[in-house]
Amino acid sequence: MRFADNTFSGSYITTIGVDFKIRTVVINGERVKLQIWDTAGQERFRTITSTYYRNTHGVIIVYDVTNPESFVNIKRWLHEIGQNCDSVCKVLVGNKCEDPARRQVETADARRFSEQMGVRLFETSAKENLNVEEMFNAVTAMVLRTKQENLARLQHPEVVKINRPKKKPPVKKCC
């Protein structure tokens, strides 16, 4: 809501299944129309939400820095993404970072974990609008870069050929 509409509500209205938002951004001079599928975190919607992974270019995994259980659950979410997506850009986001007194997941611990997992970490506050824009821009730039690399690979297949292991010539047997 912060990214798509620049709004924030303090009341908790759980997502039922999925929400959908669109926003166009300009990255490196290129207009990119983002389709954002916000899936429900609650277990009871898992069968619905798991169908939304297919053909996804980027995934934003959000935990709550004031709730250690949400941080522990990240491993399970990463596993689920691995099971359902072929190759996808991932970022890890610790939200609700605006109040140091309420923080229970330290940045250093989250950073260590994100490095182990090979995923970039952001800390954001939807409430105070901290780092939200930067995080979405970073995901979009990652997705664009991956798409351009894949396109270049298709246009220059010889790059692929170079890396292909050489086929052994068939062994001629004498009769």
Ligand X SMILES: Nc1nc2c(ncn2[C@@H]2O[C@H](COP(=O)(O)OP(=O)(O)OP(=O)(O)O)[C@@H](O)[C@H]2O)c(=O)[nH]1
Q: From CA 17, how far away is CA 7, in angstroms rounded?
A: 21
Query: Is residue 95 within the footprint of ligand X (CB under 6 A)?
Result: yes
Residue 157 sits at φ, ψ, to 5 deg, of: -60, -20
- Based on CB atoms, which residue is closest to Mg ion, 6 or 15? 15
Only segment of 77-85, 120-128, 146-154, 161-169 that touches ligand X (CB under 6 A): 120-128
The token pair at 107 is 């940045």
Sign of CA dihedral 127, 128, 134, 135: negative
**Residue 23: contacted member of Mg ion, ligand X, none (CB under 5 to 8 Å, by partner type):** none
Residues 17-76 that bind ligand X (CB under 6 A): 40-42
- Residue 103 binds ligand X (CB under 6 A): no
Task: For residue 12, state whether it binds ligand X (rule: CB under 6 A).
Answer: yes
Residue 33, token pair as written in the block: 């129309």
Contact present, 8 and 1 (Cβ < 8 Å): yes
Total binding residues toward Mg ion, as defined by CB under 5 A: 1
Residues with Cβ within 8 Å of residue 58, at least 6 apart in sequence: 88, 89, 90, 91, 139, 140, 142, 143
* Cα angle 73-62-65, degrees, rounded to a multiple of 5: 80
96 interface partner picked from Mg ion, ligand X, none, CB below 5 to 8 A per type: ligand X
Nearer to ligand X, 8 or 156 (CB): 8
15 near Mg ion, judged by CB under 5 A: yes
Q: Which does 131 bind (CB under 5 to 8 A by kind): Mg ion, ligand X, none?
A: none
Binding of residue 9 to ligand X (CB under 6 A): yes
**Contact footprint for ligand X (CB under 6 A):** 9-12, 14-15, 40-42, 95-96, 98, 125-127
